[in-house]
Amino acid sequence: MSITFDSFGLNKALLTALATEGYVTPTPIQAQAIPSVMTGKDLLGIAQTGTGKTAAFALPILHRLAENRTPPLPRTTRALILSPTRELATQIADSFKAYGRHLGFRVAVVFGGVSYGPQERALQQGLDVLVATPGRLLDHMQQKTLDLSTTEIFVLDEADQMLDLGFVKPIRQVVARLPHRRQNLFFSATMPTEIGKLASDLLKDPVRVQVTPQSTTVERINQSVIWVEQGRKRALLTEMFSDPNYSRCLVFTKTKHGADKVAAYLEAGGVQAGAIHGNKSQPQRERTLAAFKAGKLRVLVATDIAARGIDVDNVSHVVNFELPFVPEAYVHRIGRTARAGKDGSAVSFVAGDEMKLLRDIEKVTRQKIPAVDRRNDASLGRLDASIMAAGVGKKASMPDDGRDQPQSRGGPRNPRREGVKAPHGGQPHRQRKGHRGPGTGNGDRSIAPTTPFDPLAADRARSRAPQADARAAAQPVKEGEIRRRPRRRRPSNGGKGFAANG
């Protein structure tokens, strides 16, 4: 006999809302978590993103609040949910509003990047459910616009990403303001050592729910690796969108600047794309995400800050334009596809210098990710031909070492700096002692490469009188001392020398 939401004994208003949403059968984590949370027990939930965690704690929380319905006091909240990102906080609050639409509870969301005024007014009335990010929540607590002394239920969602973003200390500051008697719900996709310690400090005799092994990926996701030189990644990405199967795609980059560059490159290639990251204002992020959900954008380029905050239906592909530094982030990135029982694909572009990152990912996920042979793939073969025809670069064997360097912006190297005879017949330039050679970014400074920088020696050299510097210029370079090429000035000694640069 299959389990349904009716079998949990949930409030009838919640069941009506679930029927409106079309939910009949709970997911595994919902089936295990809801009964325990309804009885008031602490819970430790370990599950991947996209497994229905939000409903697993939102439904029993709303049920408990409805059973003991008391109006919240001003500047207080009965239930507090902490989220690592703005997008995820918004989605959690929307879920509470959707499930509790017939209960009349007051639900609000608090995060940074927007004005304080509307948030302060919402808190002033008192809330049944507050969803917040740690930074802005602490701001309201310090300004005494929020009091957590009467909070009954505390939820920490995506705890491992909280660790990645450096929120462990703010979390402990928030917990210190909560009452001792409360229900604690702790959810995480992975369980690193520090997160395990935090869970043991917060939870009291918790019920442990684990629906999948830690750091495994969704089985329905078709994963693959493409070996590609770093300089060819954007051209390859643009070419891939000639395939109509890439209907709604998420592309992940390491940096915010990189996300903007990739989105601009795709737009120039005729692919509707937008970028979302921490440097964007909240209205910009909301508009871009709304356009992606509505199908106005075919591609959304994001950084890892959005890896767990984007809940969009029918994402066909996730492309790792660059592999993440943290292996667990790979799991959360590709978890944006193959949601709600559907299939999806995840493609990772890997350059030679990303080999170690790939090995770390395969070690954490305990699986070997298959590589696509570009030589046997027709579309990728056509791309290589078009790239070489455009003169982008010489095709290398697979995999490459990822160390192809473009020519320096200064053009051909200066033969005088190479120690060879100058074209005009002059004497070859002698390298000064300790000079690192061309292309090192050392300029004309003369410094022993193994000697650490001594700021006191540098200050003494700059503070000398011009006459002393002129005499010192003829002396050998001392260990730890920095010399600069003299700057030409009007001769002060009959044209027989130059004053040193003071």
The Cα–Cα gap between 329 and 341 comes to: 21
In a domain, 410, yes or no: no
Q: Among 159, 188, 210, give the residue marking a domain's end.
A: 210
Total count of domains within the chain: 3
Q: Among 210, 231, 251, give the residue marking a domain's end.
A: 210
Helix, strand counts (H, E) of the chain: 17, 14
Residues 143 and 243 occupy one common structural domain:
no
pLDDT score of 214: 56
Residues 241 and 197 occupy one common structural domain:
no
Closest CA to 56 of 95, 29, 36: 29
Tens-of-pLDDT digits for all 502 residues of the chain? 578 999 999 999 999 999 998 888 998 999 999 999 999 999 999 887 667 889 999 999 999 999 999 999 999 999 999 999 888 899 899 999 999 999 999 999 999 988 999 999 999 999 999 999 999 999 999 999 999 999 999 999 988 888 877 888 999 999 999 999 999 999 987 787 888 899 999 999 999 998 865 556 666 789 999 999 999 999 999 999 999 999 999 999 999 999 999 999 999 999 999 999 888 888 898 899 889 989 999 999 998 875 566 778 789 999 999 999 888 788 878 888 877 667 789 999 999 999 999 999 999 888 899 998 655 554 455 555 544 444 443 333 344 443 334 444 444 444 444 444 444 444 444 444 444 444 444 444 433 344 444 444 444 444 444 444 445 445 555 555 555 555 655 555 554 544 444 4
pLDDT score of 489: 59
The Cα–Cα gap between 115 and 109 comes to: 13
Per the structure, the complete domain to which residue 497 belongs is given by 432-502
pLDDT score of 161: 81
Residues 241 and 353 occupy one common structural domain:
yes
What is residue 380's three-state secondary structure? helix
Residues 187 and 39 occupy one common structural domain:
yes
pLDDT score of 313: 79
In a domain, 115, yes or no: yes
In a domain, 397, yes or no: no
CB 92 within 8 A of CB 157: yes
Residues with Cβ within 8 Å of 277's Cβ and at least 6 positions away in sequence, in order, are 256, 259, 260, 302, 303, 305, 306
pLDDT score of 408: 40
Residues 112 and 160 occupy one common structural domain:
yes
In a domain, 408, yes or no: no
CA distances from 477 to 445, 446, 469 (A): 11, 8, 13
In a domain, 426, yes or no: no
pLDDT score of 172: 93
Helix (H) or strand (E) holding 116: none
CA atoms within 13 A on the CB side of 477: 18
CATH number at residue 136: 3.40.50.300
In a domain, 394, yes or no: no
CB 399 within 8 A of CB 227: yes
Residues 281 and 202 occupy one common structural domain:
no
Residues 10 and 81 occupy one common structural domain:
yes
Q: Which amino acid is at 255?
A: T
The Cα–Cα gap between 352 and 402 comes to: 4
pLDDT score of 309: 60
The Cα–Cα gap between 159 and 371 comes to: 32
Q: Among 210, 236, 256, give the residue marking a domain's end.
A: 210
Residues 79 and 228 occupy one common structural domain:
no
In a domain, 404, yes or no: no
Residues 261 and 383 occupy one common structural domain:
yes
Residues 273 and 194 occupy one common structural domain:
no
Residues 178 and 268 occupy one common structural domain:
no
Residues 203 and 304 occupy one common structural domain:
no
In a domain, 398, yes or no: no
DSSP state at residue 413: P
What are the residue ranges of helices labelled H in 134-209?
Answer: 134-142, 159-164, 168-176, 193-202
pTM: 0.61
